[in-house]
């Protein structure tokens, strides 16, 4: 009987360690899956930008500099496979330029009437919404991951098996933090 008590304690500790380890693996895999979803949506945006640029070229010839900048930023963002913060910075620049283009294009009534442009604009808006949803999902998983690796006792297991914190994906666009002014 005396032998069963220490064996039970050891088994209980072993089950707890295995459970914490499996939980850490699970949350890491959720982060990887969420990042993959973001990557898919960003690629969708990257694929749409050349179509948008070609559609706009015929209507807005004097916006050439902005279009070239947009294409350059698209290539830079699409080619960035580095740290989350680095990708977020490139995405912020691309999103800011894309927003600037959309605002400037409001001055072209013929372009706004183009079915192709309207369809691209709607698809781009839908894609932006999907990117935002994917970012929220990813950041929620990062929060869960970071909580698990910082809270006791799972932080002990995380340190033993080299589970590390993840970076949140944050777009630093000051304009997005300001409420729009509505005037009638």
Predicted confidence at residue 174, as pLDDT, reads 59
Q: Tens digit of pLDDT for each residue in 127-148?
A: 989 999 999 999 999 999 999 9
Q: Is residue 53 one of the residues assigned to a domain?
A: yes
Query: pTM of the full predicted structure?
Result: 0.74
Evaluate whether residue 13 is within a structural domain.
no
56-88: pLDDT as tens digits: 777 666 677 888 888 899 999 999 888 888 888
| Residue 162: strand, helix, or coil | coil
Coil/strand/helix, residue 142: helix
> Is residue 2 pLDDT above 90, yes or no?
no
Is 94 part of a structural domain of the chain? yes
Output the pLDDT for position 178.
52
Find all residues with CB under 8 Å of 170, minimum gap 6, and list them: 85, 88
Local structure of 3: helix, strand or coil: coil
Residue 129 resides in a domain: yes
Assess if residue 37 is contained within a domain.
yes
Cβ count within 10 A of residue 115: 7
Residue 11 covered by a domain: no
Residue 9 covered by a domain: no
Question: What are the pLDDT digits (tens) for 3-42?
Answer: 888 899 999 999 999 999 999 999 999 999 999 999 899 9
For residue 159, the enclosing domain spans: 20-168
CATH of the domain at 54: 1.20.1440.20
How many domains is the chain built from? Answer: 1
Per mean pLDDT, which range of 42-51, 81-90, 170-179 is the poorest? 170-179
Instruction: Write the pLDDT tens digit of every residue in 94-131.
Output: 988 888 888 777 777 766 667 777 888 888 889 989 99
User: What secondary structure, in 3-state letters, does 30-68 show?
Assistant: HHHHHHHHHHHHHHHHHHHHHHHHHHHHCCCHHHHHHHH
């Amino acid at each position: 009987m005396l032998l069963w008590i220490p064996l039970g304690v050891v088994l209980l500790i072993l089950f707890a360690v295995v459970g914490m380890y499996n939980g850490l693996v699970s949350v890491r895999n959720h982060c990887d899956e969420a990042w993959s979803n973001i990557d898919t949506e960003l690629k969708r945006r990257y694929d749409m930008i050349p179509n948008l640029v070609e559609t706009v070229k015929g209507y807005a010839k004097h916006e050439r500099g902005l279009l070239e900048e947009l294409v350059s930023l698209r290539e830079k963002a699409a080619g960035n496979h580095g740290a989350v913060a680095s990708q977020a910075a490139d995405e912020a620049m691309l999103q800011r330029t894309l927003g600037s283009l959309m605002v400037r294009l409001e001055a072209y009534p013929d372009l706004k009437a183009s079915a192709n442009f309207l369809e691209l604009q709607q698809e781009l808006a839908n894609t932006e919404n999907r990117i935002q949803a994917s970012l929220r999902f990813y950041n929620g998983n990062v929060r869960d991951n970071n909580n698990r690796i910082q809270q006791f006792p799972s932080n002990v297991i995380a340190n033993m098996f080299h589970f590390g914190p993840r970076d949140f994906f944050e777009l630093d666009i000051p304009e997005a933090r300001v409420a729009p002014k509505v005037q009638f």
